[in-house]
Amino acid sequence: MGAFPNSIHFIGTNTPRRLELSVRNLEVEGEIPAEIEGAFFRAVPDNAHAPMFEDDIALNADGMIARFNFEKGAVDYDIRYVETERYKAEKDARRALFGRYRNPFTDDPSVEGVDRTLANTTPVWHGGRLFMTKEDGRGYEINPHTLETVGKWDYYGALKSETFTAHPRVDPQTGELFFFGYEAGGLCSLDIAYGIADKDGNLTSEQWFKQPYCSTIHDFVITEKYAIFPIFPTTADLDRLKSGGAHWAHQQDLESWVGIMPRYGKVEEMKWIKGPVGVSVFHEVNAYDDGDLVHIDLCLSETNAFAFMREAGGIDKPQQEIQGALTRWTIDMSKADPEIQERPLGPPGDLPRLPDADQGRPYRAAWYLSMNPEAKGPPLLGGPVGANFNALVRIEPGNGRVEMMAVPPGAGISEPAHVPSSDSSHGGWLLSVVDIPNSPAPHDYSSELWIVEADNPAKGPIAKVKTGIALRSQVHGAWVGRERLNASKVKP
Ligand code: V55
Ligand code: FE
């Protein structure tokens, strides 16, 4: 086995752990609220093998599905590799065979034509099934009870798109899953597939359209009336891929776009609205209708947050100097030629979460991760961009109220999951993994799962679940309550 590179993609909380394990009854400090019954699933990229290239990146690591299972006040932890075609080919060979991030021209010839997706970005629950997703391929179904991989998911053969987003949106009233896939017709194609699956998980619609340029569409939003595709100028180029280069390069001088169409309409009804030049967004918080107005809340930054996408575009900007803000874009759909009105909503940050019940609707509060302006010392290295967030922000977009929970000095925090309460006057809870340095060693840390009152994060955690080990950084997660788990289509 070769050595892992010594870059930000493989140190700190990006240190490969590669442990498939099950631990019952983790140590709990404090008391877990009785309503927290179910599973917090997390997507954890973690290399099964040392990469082929020294300059490999954390987004190119094998997907692992992790689960904190909450039962009767006790918590168990399990983590397993997603057994993708790629994982299995490399497992057999006992070495990496797939090359650079999303560049098949850099692979070992022995795996030509083998599906490259890593299923490492988001656990998605829909129609009684659990999927692990990555935007470069189709999702993989996972048995939510055993974490075993069931297989690739194509809606019983109905799906035409080669790709499926890691950020579909579920309508809380209809139970439908709205999704898309970009590069749907192949590498660097402009094709986007826009699909809807009904509440039981049957594909009811799939339409294709083309985007203005081949961009990385990481997320999208729905409202009660619209499906909305924000497009930012980080682009792919087939010739660059063929010469062994990067899939993505940010283009600082190119405009952004918003594609907006009736969510049950035809793609031919899509309106394209030009947005600001050079900006970048990976995640939208939410969107909603307000009469003829549509509000879209985004984690906006002036350039791409990933260093490797900036560098490929010739942009030289240190991570800590990037400016951004939680931003609201408002579009007046009664206008023949609508424009984007922009205003700031909150501090910069990313990895937003919203109560499932508020998807596509006006919302009281949302949460996301940020940097604590008062933190002393450097951030804990690791995570998708190489430095971990160290604060959890709660925002009320209606009145601009912002509240923050900072983590201890040198610690990092991962995307929270929201657990609703059956008491409508209670905002529920957030579950979030916090990685806390063990003094004095600077790169050695312990991972804890913090339980925080969603409406009162500044109070700090009301309970902590101690894993006793260091977990590799997650990307996204999903909360699935006990009732839904019990009604899953795949049985234990
Ligand atoms: C993201 C994560 C990915 C990816 C593209 O968080 C974008 C953004 C974990 O993989 O491939
Ligand atoms: Fe994401």
pTM of the model: 0.98
Q: Report d(CA 180, CA 208) in Å as an integer.
A: 9
Torsion of CA 212, 191, 194, 229, to 10 degrees: -20
Strand stretches in 112-187, DSSP E: 122-126, 129-133, 140-142, 149-152, 169-170, 177-182
Is 93 part of any domain?
Answer: yes
- Report whether residue 139 contacts ligand 1, using a CB cutoff of 6 Å: no
Ligand that comes closest to the CA of residue 120: 1
Ligand 1 contact via 305 beta carbon (within 6 Å): no
Q: What is the pLDDT along the chain (492 residues), one digit of tens a residue?
A: 679 999 999 999 999 999 999 999 999 999 999 999 999 999 999 999 999 999 999 999 999 999 999 999 999 999 999 999 999 999 999 999 999 999 999 999 999 999 999 999 999 999 999 999 999 999 999 999 999 999 999 999 999 999 999 999 999 999 999 999 999 999 999 999 999 999 999 999 999 999 999 999 999 999 999 999 999 999 999 999 999 999 999 999 999 999 999 999 999 999 999 999 999 999 999 999 999 999 999 999 999 999 999 999 999 999 989 999 999 999 999 999 999 999 999 999 999 999 999 999 999 999 999 999 999 889 999 999 999 999 999 999 999 999 999 999 999 999 999 999 999 999 999 999 999 999 766 558 999 999 999 999 999 999 999 999 999 999 999 999 999 999 999 988
Non-local CB neighbours of 421 within 8 Å, separated by 6+ positions: 35, 427, 428, 429
**Residue 491 placed within a domain:** no
CB of 45 sitting under 6 A from ligand 1: yes
How many structural domains compose the chain?
1
- Residue 150 domain-assigned (yes or no): yes
- Is residue 423 domain-resident? yes
Residue 347: CATH number of its domain: 2.120.10.30
* Ligand 1, atom 7, residue with closest C-alpha: 218
Q: Is the CB of 120 under 6 A from ligand 1?
A: yes
**Which of 64, 121, 282 is the pocket-test mutation for ligand 1 (most atoms within 8 Å of CB)?**
121
Cα 317 to chain centroid, rounded: 24
Judge whether 427 lies within some domain. yes
Outline where DSSP puts E strands in 232-364: 234-235, 249-250, 255-262, 271-277, 280-290, 293-301, 324-332, 340-346, 350-353
Work out the number of other CB atoms within 10 angstroms of the CB of residue 371: 18
Q: Is the dihedral of CA 107, 475, 276, 252 positive or negative?
A: negative
End-to-end CA distance of the chain: 35
In the β-sheet with 401-406, what is the strand arrangement from edge to edge?
A: 350-353, 366-370, 391-396, 401-406
Residue whose CA is at the smallest distance from ligand 1 atom 8: 282
> With a 6 A CB cut-off, is 218 part of the ligand 1 pocket?
yes
What's the pLDDT score for residue 153?
98
Burial of 175 (0-12, 13-18, 19+ CB in 10 A): middle
Closest Cα to residue 115, out of 90, 150, 141, 148? 90
Q: Which residue's alpha carbon is at the smallest distance from atom 4 of ligand 1?
A: 59
Residue with tokens 């490492």: 120
In a domain, 492, yes or no: no
The pLDDT of residue 439 is: 74
DSSP string, 176-195: -EEEEEESTTSTT--EEEEE
Q: Is residue 348 part of a domain?
A: yes
Per the structure, the complete domain to which residue 50 belongs is given by 8-486
CA of 305 to the centre of ligand 1 (A): 11
Ligand 2 centroid–CA 30 distance in Å is: 31
For residue 425, what are its two tokens?
Answer: 């006057």
User: Alpha-carbon distance 211 to 326, whole Å?
Assistant: 25
SS3 state at 252: coil
Query: How far, in Å, from the CA of 337 to the mean position of ligand 2?
Result: 31
Our answer on whether the CB atom of 432 is closer than 6 Å to any ligand 1 atom is no
Q: Is residue 3 part of a domain?
A: no
Which residues, 6+ apart, have CB-to-CB distance to 335 below 8 Å?
none
Ligand 1 lined by 59 (C-beta under 6 Å) = yes
Pocket of ligand 1 contains residue 137 by CB under 6 Å = no
Nearest residue CA, atom 5 of ligand 1? 59
In this structure, the residue with its CA closest to atom 11 of ligand 1 is: 59
Answer yes or no: is the C-beta of 133 below 6 A from any ligand 1 atom. no
Any atom of ligand 1 within 6 Å of the Cβ of 384: yes
134 lines ligand 1 (CB under 6 A): yes
> Does residue 475 line the site of ligand 1, with CB under 6 A?
yes
CA of 440 to the centre of ligand 1 (A): 32
Atom of ligand 1 nearest to the CA of 476: 6
What's residue 343's pLDDT?
Answer: 97
Answer whether 14 contacts ligand 1 (Cβ < 6 A): no
